Structure 1
């Protein structure tokens, strides 16, 4: 039996890259897998057999090391969270939401700020400095002018990576710029709502000449965090971790309690006020959603 990786699922078929032959085969799923409830998604490692007509049948899905639910993809090494500095404007609340989801999945993170040709690079660096201080890697790119593409290639090399971010920030344009021959469809910004139009319709892993795989994914503008507990949210903001044991009350929500070390750190500007405010907004979302159940 052969082993491979699912590169995409489309039209009821699963396109599987064979590790030995380095060929891609169009496969169906064995009925018993469906009956067992073993879903197969992009990124899954599978065992499959070839049929006489050159197509294949997936017989087994191997154990996943991780998975994301939006985009739906498995066995990822890192996420490249991509935003434009303008057109559309950088949405820090959405950035923090995506960072929380990456922390939950225990993924390495690179923040990619694209379209820097449309704004001051110095301003962009100043805006993202708090994230670098937290420990996130930030790279600045322009698909149009070729700025920072070497940094992006280095980040992607020999990894299985997923691009995540809203529509219109240039994810497909960046991939077209670093990998010849992709010719991914690129959309334009709506002048009415100042957001991008969806150009990627399904999740697909693409092979890079420099080594590794990368997923171009459908864009999105909001993500639900209600599956996280109110008590658990604090652990997905890395800059809060060192202060949690110093609060007077345990548990502490870091919202209204007196003698809260997190709130004191915000006042001392050891934790950025903007990130803290987004923490409070996410906390309120989670608590309100639980009350409605």
Structure 2
């Protein structure tokens, strides 16, 4: 049975990439009965009627999926953050990182407009902090696109989604990687995706030897679906130390002999990261229960 990956879904058709070939497939009625909706990014088995057309028969198990954009099996999220206009925000970055970590997606932090940075010393300290935690950080400038080849190296053989605020340079980056796309610079912008992208279809486009979703990730930045006892696992530097806490299930708040709080006190975990953790804990506590 031939297999492939859905790279576009439009008007009831699924476009399945199998090697170099794209097969236009319809879904079998069995999907509707089982309430399965194939997503862009799904690995599928299909039956070919001829070289160009066929039917999707089965959808393989997903390793993750996003609601908006509706895409599955994402390897990594490129979190695009400008250092100026809009200004760099560690709390917003940490919010994105928590969401990405909760979905088991590898984050790549991409800082844009480095040439506009006014306080380079503070910025370099942040970059050092995130790299120490284990995150990949790529720095690019708006004029020369320095660092672009490093970013392209991370896209190779991966399925990626770009995410970030409006105006941070997501479209500019993708245009630099794929000039033929000629994306308008506000087209991939609305970071929260409300309204503007509601009817657009998602497509995985080839870029730098990998596939990139052509719409921005994360329509919502709240922590719906993340429970209190799951949050610290989304902070790698806390997850690494939680087994050393005295109590199992330690929330790293007021518990005695907490390895995470000790690491914060000793400067091994950046204070602002812990402050953001406390802020997110409060948000989850205040979340209204859904019935």
So what's the TM-score if we normalise by structure 1? Answer: 0.84
Rate the CA distance shift 1:292–1:205 in 2: closer, same or farther, 3 A: closer
Q: What is the Cα deviation at residue 202 of structure 1?
A: 4.1
Gaps of 5+ in 1: none
RMSD over aligned CA atoms reads 3.1
Query: For this pair of structures, how many residues does the alignment match?
Result: 288
So what's the TM-score if we normalise by structure 2? Answer: 0.85
Of 88, 91, 106 in structure 2, the residue corresponding to residue 90 of structure 1 is 88
Rate the CA distance shift 1:291–1:162 in 2: closer, same or farther, 3 A: closer
Q: Deviations over 1:199-237 (max 9, x none)?
A: 7644321112x4221223235574221312211211221
Contact 2:114–2:139 under 8 Å retained in 1: yes
| 1:111 and 2:109 are equivalent in the alignment | yes
Q: Which residue of 2 aligns with 1:180?
A: 179
Q: Say which SS state the counterpart of residue 176 (structure 1) adopts.
A: helix
Of 280, 283, 290 in structure 2, the residue corresponding to residue 282 of structure 1 is 280
Q: Deviations over 1:57-106 (max 9, x none)?
A: 32221222332334332122222121111222223222112212222233
Alpha-carbon distance in 1 for matches of 2:167, 2:195? 8
Alignment of 1:152-191 (within 5 A): 152-187=151-186
Of 28-37 and 54-63, the range deviating more from structure 2:
54-63
Rate the CA distance shift 1:53–1:127 in 2: closer, same or farther, 3 A: closer
Q: Deviations over 1:256-279 (max 9, x none)?
A: 334433223222221111111111
Alpha-carbon distance in 1 for matches of 2:205, 2:188? 25
Of 136-145 and 252-261, the range deviating more from structure 2:
252-261
Contact 1:168–1:197 under 8 Å retained in 2: no
Q: Which residue of 2 aligns with 1:148?
A: 147
Alignment of 1:191-202 (within 5 A): 201-202=200-201
Contact 2:22–2:52 under 8 Å retained in 1: no
